Amino acid sequence: MSDLPALIARRLLVSGRVQGVGFRASTIEAATRLGIVGWVCNRQDGRVEVHAQALAALVDEFERWLQQGPRWARVTGVSTQDLEVDLGLRGFEIRW
């Protein structure tokens, strides 16, 4: 058994006024600052979808940031789902 902290992956769906307010660009900045890998995209239903992968404590901190978002956003909720870790992910990007 290893004593190394384990990577986790989490899907986060962010609701509220989260499109058209710089949410994706700000999410990339926050993810990069924290060392999160994954992606962010706008959904047709008005939410923003985020795939975040890193050490659990970092993903938790990133989730707390997503609950506030950037200055012009008004987040009303963040739902989460744990995912399988994808060791092929590199960096953090916007997906279309």
| From 17, 33, 42, 90, the catalytic residue | 42
Give the domain ranges of the chain: 7-82
DSSP 8-class letter at 2: -
Q: So what's the pLDDT on residue 3?
A: 64
**Which comes out higher in pLDDT, residue 41 or 5?**
41
Strands laid side by side in the 7-17 sheet: 74-83, 7-17, 48-55, 37-42, 92-94
pLDDT digits (tens, 9 = 90+) for 36-64: 999 999 999 999 999 999 999 999 999 99
Q: So what's the pLDDT on residue 29?
A: 98
| From 10, 17, 24, 90, the catalytic residue | 24
Predicted TM-score of the model (pTM): 0.93
How far is Cα 52 from Cα 40, in angstroms, rounded to an integer? 9
Give the mean pLDDT of the chain: 95
**Catalytic residue check, 24:** yes
Which amino acid belongs to residue 35? G
Instruction: Identify any residues that bridge with 77 across adjacent strands, giving them in sequence order.
Output: 15
- The second-level CATH assignment, the architecture, of 7-82 is 2-Layer Sandwich (3.30)
